[in-house]
């Protein structure tokens, strides 16, 4: 092949890339400027580019001597089930989470009046440091441990492109730092979405003992945690699935979903055994009473029979044969 031909071939390969579809994990805002002390939110979003996916595992890194993570909000997330609750470490400079969408997510619906592709929100705060006396840039990036699975019944890994964010830390410390998260918390007065408690027993889970399962979402600041109460016992923090302490199912079970702003939704479950117990006792008591009554009546009749005059039993006539 001549040099010219090779050049032409390379030119076409450049202008006609044979790239196929890929999902995109990205951050919003992709670039912005902040001052020391500012608290701000970075949204983690997904663009499936028309493909259907149902599971996301994301891990991001940040510069932990410039930024610290104050919290992570699952509020209004596309992921309604979480296999790994969001966790972050300011020591390692990493934040990660994983979860899925039952039934899948195939991208933006035509005519959607809003953006419905939020996975989660990272709440950052810029450190205040005398060393930061000139503007600096820092990046928040997806690590190569991030991946997305297709909604194909096989859990196939999707081709993935990730786009991080470039944050400019400006010099100076403002009198009133930005407080995006604090404002969101103050403005959130809406309780989490309603949900039901499901009581179950399965031989392969908790050795066949009774457990409950529950899950809900919060469309504003996100679920902070759940608490469970059995009967009149103390509320205690819990995750689903939760093994019941009271296996006799005699107590009402309550689950409280609390969002980051402190709003609560309480779901209640009265076990069928608990419902039946009083009725069961009533029936048993009734049977005992009726039975006792019948026995008493029978004995009364027997006593009555024993006091009546008796007829002499008829004598047998014996005839001796005259012996002739």
Partner 1 sequence: MKKWLNLFLIISILSSVLFILAFSFDSAQAQSGVPVSAKVLGVCGNGIHEIEEECDDGVNNGQYGYCKNDCSGLGPRCGDGIIQSGDGEECDDSNTNSGDGCSSTCLIEPPPETPPGLPYPREPVTKVILQGKAYPYASVFTLKDGNIVATARADSLAVFKIEINNLTGGAYTFGLRAEDKAGRKSITFSLTVTVSSGMTVVIGDILIPPTIELEKSQLEKGELLHVSGQTSPQSEISLYIKSLDTEKTIINKVKADQMGDWTFSFNTSLLNEDSYSIKASALSPEGLVSSFSHALEFVIGEKVIVPEFCSRADFNKDGKVNLVDFSILLYWWGKYDVCVDQNNDGIVDLIDFSILMYWWTG
Footprint on this chain of partner 1 (rule: CB under 8 A):
2, 4-5, 8-9, 12, 16, 18, 20-21, 49-52, 54-55, 57, 75-78, 80-81, 83, 98, 100-107, 109-118, 149-155, 190, 193-196, 198, 200, 202, 204-206, 211, 213-215, 217, 219-220, 240-241
Question: Which CB, 113 or 172, lies closer to partner 1?
Answer: 113
CA–CA distance, 160 with 167 (Å, rounded to integer)? 23
Residue 152: CB minimum distance to partner 1, A: 7
> Does an H or E element contain 198, and which?
strand 198-202
Residue 116: CB minimum distance to partner 1, A: 4
Q: Which of 85, 58, 56, 84 lies closest to 71, judged by CA?
A: 85
DSSP assignment of 5-62, as one string? HHHHHHHHHHHS------EEEEEESSEEEE-TT-EEEEEEEEE-TT--EEEEEEEEE-
Question: Which CB, 138 or 216, lies closer to partner 1?
Answer: 216
Residue 250: CB minimum distance to partner 1, A: 22
Question: Which CB, 95 or 148, lies closer to partner 1?
Answer: 148
Q: Which of 180, 164, 163 lies closest to 70, judged by CA?
A: 180
Residue 167: CB minimum distance to partner 1, A: 25
Question: Which CB, 9 or 283, lies closer to partner 1?
Answer: 9
Q: Which of 267, 261, 287 lies closest to 184, judged by CA?
A: 261
Question: Which CB, 64 or 213, lies closer to partner 1?
Answer: 213
CA–CA distance, 107 with 53 (Å, rounded to integer)? 9
Residue 182: CB minimum distance to partner 1, A: 20
Residue 298: CB minimum distance to partner 1, A: 50
Question: Which CB, 114 or 130, lies closer to partner 1?
Answer: 114
Sign of CA dihedral 31, 35, 41, 44: positive
* Residue 59, SS3 per DSSP: strand
């Amino acid at each position: 092949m001549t040099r010219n031909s090779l050049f032409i071939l390379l030119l076409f390969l450049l202008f006609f890339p044979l790239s196929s579809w890929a999902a995109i994990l990205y951050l919003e805002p992709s670039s912005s400027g902040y001052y020391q002390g500012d608290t701000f939110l970075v949204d983690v979003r997904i663009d499936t580019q028309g493909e259907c996916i149902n599971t996301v595992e994301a891990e991001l890194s940040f510069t932990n001597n410039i930024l610290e993570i104050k919290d992570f909000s699952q509020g209004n997330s596309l992921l309604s089930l979480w296999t790994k609750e969001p966790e972050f470490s300011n020591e390692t400079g990493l934040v990660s989470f994983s979860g899925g969408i039952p039934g899948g997510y195939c991208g933006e619906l035509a005519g959607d009046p809003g953006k419905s592709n939020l996975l989660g929100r990272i709440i950052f705060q810029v450190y205040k440091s005398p060393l930061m006396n000139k503007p600096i840039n820092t990046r928040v990036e997806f690590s190569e441990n991030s991946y997305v699975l297709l909604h194909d019944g096989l859990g196939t890994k999707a081709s993935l492109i990730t786009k991080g964010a470039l944050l400019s830390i400006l010099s100076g410390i403002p009198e009133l730092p930005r407080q995006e998260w604090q404002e969101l918390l103050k403005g959130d007065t809406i309780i989490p979405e309603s949900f039901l408690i499901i009581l179950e027993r399965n031989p392969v889970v908790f050795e066949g003992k009774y457990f409950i399962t529950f899950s809900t979402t919060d469309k504003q600041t996100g679920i902070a945690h759940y608490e469970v109460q059995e009967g009149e016992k103390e509320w205690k923090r819990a995750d689903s699935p939760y093994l019941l302490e009271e296996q006799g199912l005699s107590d009402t079970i309550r689950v409280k979903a609390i969002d980051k702003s402190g709003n609560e939704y309480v779901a209640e479950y009265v076990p069928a055994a608990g419902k039946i117990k009083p009725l069961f006792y009533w029936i048993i008591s009734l049977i005992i009473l009726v039975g006792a009554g019948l026995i008493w009546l029978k004995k009364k009749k027997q006593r009555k029979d024993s006091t009546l005059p008796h007829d002499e039993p008829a004598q047998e006539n014996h005839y001796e044969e005259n012996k002739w």
